[in-house]
Structure 1
Amino acid sequence: MAILYWFGYHKKFDRECIPQNADGIAMVDMKNIRNYFVFSCLKNPSECQWSNKDSAFKERFNLSNYGIKMSDYLAFFHIENQPISQWFVSAEIENETAFEKTMNKAHFRKAKLQNGMVAYYSNSMNLCAVKRSSQILISNISEQQKHIAVNIAEDLFLKKLFLNAKQIEKTIGTQNAVTFWIKKNSLLEEDGILSLKLENNKITVDGQLKLKYKKESQFLQNPNALFSLGFDFKMIQNQNIIKRHSAKINKIIGFNLDSILANNPTKTEILLNGIVEKKDSAISYDYDDDFNPIKKVVVHTNREPSFYFSMQTENSKKVFNYLKTQNAIDNRNVFVNFPLATTKTSIQNNALTLEANPLKNRISKPSSSKIGYLQIHFNKLLPKDWLYIIAKNKNFKFLKPFESFEMGLSKKNNVGHFRVDLKTTKGKSLISVIK
């Protein structure tokens, strides 16, 4: 029993692996995840028959194959004022030869730095690694920004500027596969904790957050939409993500976003009902040897989005008129800055709406009151859609076996309740999908 406990449940956490300027942590309990798959295989042995291809998959996720020590916990952390998609993790090298072999095989470029540190970078994988002695820091950061990774490595390996362990003590020793810690910020009144658990046919994230903004709304929410998103714009209006990318947003939408923000936008919702196919026939004539006309019909198939966008403001008519003066809306009330489909613009219940290829039988109903929500039905994507998506980013291939993603933020007892469900395709267990 002592050996079983030590192997399966005894865990040790290195409290000197997170810098003090981290504002978000995903604490991955490696033994919890391993135990989940072990017990799943014992309960469903038929689903754990690993092929050669599956074995290769397992080998890729065995860190010891790359010369990196397998720890009980992996702490992925986010740094203040950095893009939300940019994360870091530190680890320990236990086999220098295997590590260098892995770097060479993956075509990482090696460069010596000051203070005995070495940097490795891969353009194809967009990964940066900074090593000092047996310590290593890894991040998905662009080459132009790799100096940020070097600075963080210096904070960890040289200056010893670690996060106070008391702040994250609730992420250690839990029953969760992953525990998220979010530092108090412009949206949270205090630090937040979220739990990720592995279940038979889904992955769930759940937790309570003390939000500064708690206003709930009733959204339209088409339950069968490919993609739907609803939130109150006031939540993000003054966030850095808007200010930092305002120029890029203005370029995409074709007008100044401040013209919308000046009218205090509130309830916002977008429904991507799906992709519709439109057939267009082109007729031409040719002639045979006797100069008899031969009719030729060429059918072109176009794919266009069917979507609905709505944003309430203090004076949506004023916004509508502004967009007309900017030639973003033509005389037919068509929003011309969206080239993928003819998009009609109108004012409904003091909300600016954009709609393209509306459904004939719209299945939509007001949702229960909530602060915000996000819903994606992966099963509505066609194989050609997946080919396009995966070509853009190979990491999205992970989502292909899943049926739906649902995220909701509501208010219970004056506290924000956050929940995410990532469900597998019907009839498939989580272990059969991940392996």
Structure 2
Amino acid sequence: MNKKKLIVPLILLLAAAFYFVFFHKEKTLNLVPKDADVVVLIDVKKLTRQYLSNLIAHPSKWSGSKTKDKKEISLKDSGIKIPDFLQIFHLKDTRFSEWYSVVELKDPQKFSAFLKSRQFISKGKNLFRKDQLFIKIEGENGIIGTSALAFDPINKVLIQSSEKNTLNADQLISHSTGSISFISGQKIQNFSIELKADEIEIKNTADTGILASVIDEVQKRNHFLAIELDARNVKNYAKFLDKNLIDSAQINYFKATADLEQVNDTIISYGYDDNFNEIEKKTVQKIIQPNYIIDLQSQIPEKAWAYFQHKKWINAQNQFTAIPFQPNRIDKSNKGLVIQSTRKPISLSPELTENYIFIKNNPLLLSSLKSLTPAERTILSDIEFIFYWNKAEHYWVKIKAKKGKLPLILRW
């Protein structure tokens, strides 16, 4: 046969194979329970294409990690059926920190060996744990969670197909690498997740042109924390602290600025000498303390002050005891209340009339988080800042990483 006649069919065959491997997706989401109120969806094939394109552009990563443990089993040999969409969900009436996912298994025995090679500890009954991650093998499925509390209910859902959700990927995600969807009955609110070279964006709006100037203005102040929220946002966040705060204190504006500082803290204890005389012992330790100022504006400042006194948040020295970092002072102003630390006073950032929360990475913050794993410490140390913005029903979160030789997808 003429070799030239084989070229076209071969090209078509390769193109079809390329399409099915990297683009064709099963969009039925059958691993999400009906009582899920938040679903995070990751487009695995798009993420794979993004990873490969970045890998090709960075030859230094072609050889892989030189320190990789040869005893570790790779993900492709783990017995997992790689999904087209990774489905991560939160269940109603569970703690915010509880998140779950389910992966289908081609070979449960291989998956068990994979977990052991990654230093997961067996807890018996096919349950494994490593740090704050729990995994349980149930038949042909692996249930993954930041807690094991809902593993049994989730497994029952997997067995009873009527309890599964009937979502389609197109309902939750559109052309982005991932999405976060908040589900309330028939209402679904979607936020796209975009992974870029040195930043991650989570948003439900394309109109973010003004935000670059807002971030620049906030960064100029070089504070660890800067917050400005209007009445609507204050009400939403106050629910996590005190449900009666807004109605009782009439707070309609919140602004805060804070910095971190390492200080010497003297601990005084008492003991006895050889003659049973009481002696004072002083121990000095270094601790991380914030210097801060908080502006709480209220239509009726006297009402806010009375409510804080009723809650016993103001003591005889006019200190605001609801904030554990002392010393501080609370004062009334014409517009509301001002709370500020007194050890090293700082000034409020200028008002921008925007709703935002800005957190700038600080080595002192990282050093105070003792419970972090090495991987978590690496990721957090790589972050430059986190910025949240909201206007009406539009939301935008930007996680900015420090400039590096490699894009985030090859770093993390």
- TM-score, normalization by structure 1: 0.72
Query: Which residue of structure 2 aligns with residue 193 of structure 1?
Result: 190
Equivalences, count: 368
Deviation at 1:348, TM superposition (A): 2.7
Maintained 8 Å contact 1:23/1:79 = yes
Q: Which amino acid aligns with 1:18?
A: V
Shift, 1:365, TM fit: 1.4
Partner residue, 2:248? 262
Aligned to 2:170: 169
Q: CA deviation at 1:158?
A: 2.8
1:6 corresponding residue in structure 2: 20
**Candidates 358, 373, 394, aligned match of 1:375:** 358
Contact 2:225 2:360 in 1 (8 A): yes
1:279/1:65 CA distance change after superposition, 3 Å: same
Tell me which amino acid in the other structure corresponds to 1:122.
Answer: R
Q: Deviations over 1:175-212 (max 9, x none)?
A: 32112222148xxx942111111212211122149xxx
Q: Amino acid of the residue matched to residue 127 of structure 2?
A: Y
Is the 8 Å Cα contact of residues 104 and 140 (structure 2) preserved in structure 1? yes
| Alignment check: 8 A CA contact 1:92 1:136 kept | yes
- State the Cα deviation string for residues 72-92 of structure 1 (Å, max 9, x = none): 211111112222222111111
Equivalent residues of 1:229, 1:375 under 8 A apart = yes
SS in 1 for 2:319: coil
Compare 300-309 and 31-40 and name the one that shifted more. 300-309
Structure 2: 5+ residue stretches without partners = 1-14, 207-216, 267-282
Aligned to 1:405: 386
**Residues 261 and 291 in structure 2, CA contact (< 8 A), matched pair in contact too:** yes
Task: Give the equivalent residue in structure 1 for 2:51.
Answer: 37
User: Does residue 129 of structure 1 match 2:136?
Assistant: yes
1:16 to 6, 15, 30: 30
Alignment partner, residue 146 of structure 2: 140
Partner of 1:217: none
- For residues 122 and 314 of structure 1, what CA distance do their matches in structure 2 show? 51
- 2:81 maps to which of 69, 89, 97: 69
Per mean C-alpha deviation after superposition, the further-off stretch among 348-357 and 300-309 is 300-309
Q: Counterparts of 2:320 and 2:65 in 1: how far apart (Å)?
A: 52
1:107 aligns with 2:121: yes
Whichever residue aligns with residue 146 of structure 2, its letter is N
Alpha-carbon shift at residue 26 of structure 1 (Å):
0.9
Superposition deviation, residue 128 in structure 1: 4.6
Within 1, Cα distance between the matches of 2:106 and 2:176? Answer: 27
Distance 1:227 1:330 in 2: 26
Find the counterpart in structure 1 of residue 261 from structure 2.
275
1:33 to partner: Cα distance: 1.2
Match of 2:102 in 1: 90
Task: Give the structure 1 partner of residue 369 of structure 2.
Answer: 389
Equivalent residue letter for 1:134: E
The question of whether the paired residues in 2 share the 8 Å contact of 1:206 and 1:420 is answered with yes
Task: Name which of structure 1's ranges 74-83 and 315-324 shifts more when overlaid on structure 2.
Answer: 315-324
Question: How many percent of aligned residue pairs carry the same amino acid?
Answer: 16
- Pairwise CA RMSD: 3.7
CA change 1:151–1:345 in 2 (3 A) is same
1:287 matched to which residue of 2? none
Match of 1:422 in 2: 399
CA contact (8 A) 1:260 1:319 kept: no
**Alpha carbons 1:233, 1:267 under 8 Å: kept:** yes
**Is contact 2:234-2:251 (8 Å) kept?**
no
Separation in 2, partners of 1:235, 1:432: 33
Match of 1:400, SS state, is helix
Q: Which amino acid aligns with 2:100?
A: F
Give me the whole-angstrom Cα distance separating, in 1, the residues matched to 2:295 and 2:257: 9
Select which of 193, 202, 206 maps to 1:205: 202
Contact 1:401 1:433 in 2 (8 A): no
Q: Which runs of 5+ in 1 are unaligned?
A: 112-118, 210-219, 251-256, 281-297
Which residue pairs with 1:179 in the alignment?
Answer: 179
Are the counterparts in 2 of residues 130 and 149 from structure 1 also a CA contact under 8 Å?
no
Write out aligned runs for 1:285-296 (5 A): none
Distance 1:313 1:49, change over 3 A: farther
What's the CA shift for 1:48? 5.3
Q: Deviations over 1:19-57 (max 9, x none)?
A: 11212111111121121121112223346553323x569
Give the secondary-structure state (helix, strand or coil) at the position aligned to 1:194: strand
Query: One-letter code of the match for 1:156?
Result: L
